[in-house]
Amino acid sequence: MSTSFYHTELSKALSEQAFGLARFDICRSSSPHEATASVTLLEGRTIRITLTARGYQLDGDQIFESIEGLLQAVSAAYEGRRREALFSRLRSLS
């Protein structure tokens, strides 16, 4: 079975945000129209994120347009790490 677009995109999105996560695992999916991951936040809490054509869905509930928006909404530690990474990149430009 080939990897679906959603599986690839969710894996790529979470990999890009790995600096602000404790870990993530992409779950096997029976549908090519979605992908789900188990994500452990820096605070230790584990959430499930599903990517579909509608966006990034948190634990089968609220939908977000971006993975960053979802993670900012659920993890203060992620937001702190994201800010640190941004400031670090800005300092390297000057």
Total count of residues recorded for the chain: 94
Q: What is the pLDDT of residues 30-50, one digit of tens each?
A: 789 999 999 999 999 999 999
Q: What is the CA radius of gyration of the chain?
A: 14
How many CA atoms lie within 13 Å of 44's alpha carbon, on the beta-carbon side?
0
Question: Of 14-18, 77-81, 90-94, which range is least confident?
Answer: 90-94
Q: What is the pLDDT of residues 70-91, one digit of tens each?
A: 999 999 999 999 999 889 989 9
Higher pLDDT, 9 or 29: 9
51 close to 34: Cβ distance less than 8 angstroms: yes
User: CA–CA separation, 66 vs 85, rounded Å?
Assistant: 18
